[in-house]
């Protein structure tokens, strides 16, 4: 009888110790992740600052005054403004419909070119 109680007590203590160990292990991993969090937030902030700086540079470059000043430079002297007749604007839906109709025409042509062979 004493041996059965000892085995039950040993089993309970071993299960309890294993559960405590797994709980502490999970807490350690959470603590490690929390320690890395400030470093990652600093990196993200630095990336956001770089993105903002690059966006500002893009906006400055695309500024119409800057583009006109660049047009006066000798390396861009060969460029000219297009006439309104040369500018072609296409509606977005029209381009998509044109491509889809071309694909349908190609599919119909492929079907019509496929020979039908009847075996006897």
Residue 119 domain-assigned? no
Residue 35 domain-assigned? yes
Q: How confident is the model at residue 114 (pLDDT cuts 50, 70, 90)?
A: very low
Residue 15 domain-assigned? yes
In the chain, what percentage of residues exceed pLDDT 70? 75
Residue 62 domain-assigned? yes
What pTM was estimated for this model as a whole?
A: 0.49
Q: Name every residue whose Cβ is closer than 8 Å to that of residue 60 and which is 6 or more positions away in sequence.
A: 66
- DSSP states of 56-110: HHHHHHT-HHHHHHHHTSGGGTT--PPPTTT-----HHHHHHHHHHHHHHHHHHH
Split into its structural domains, the chain has a count of: 1
Separation CA 115–CA 25 (nearest Å): 70
Residue 76 domain-assigned? yes
Q: What is the pLDDT of residues 43-78, one digit of tens each?
A: 999 999 999 999 999 999 999 888 888 888 888 888
Residue 45 domain-assigned? yes
**Residue span of the structural domain in which 32 resides:** 2-113
């Amino acid at each position: 009888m004493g041996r059965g109680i000892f085995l039950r007590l040993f089993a309970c203590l071993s299960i309890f110790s294993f559960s405590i160990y797994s709980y502490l292990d999970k807490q350690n991993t959470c603590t490690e992740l929390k320690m890395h969090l400030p470093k990652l937030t600093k990196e993200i902030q630095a990336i956001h600052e770089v993105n903002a700086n690059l966006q500002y540079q893009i906006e400055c470059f695309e500024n119409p005054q800057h583009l006109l000043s660049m047009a006066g430079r000798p390396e861009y002297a060969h460029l000219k403004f297009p006439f309104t007749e040369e500018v072609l604007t296409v509606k977005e839906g029209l381009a998509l419909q044109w491509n889809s109709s071309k694909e349908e025409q190609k599919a119909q042509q492929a079907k019509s070119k496929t020979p039908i062979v009847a075996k006897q």
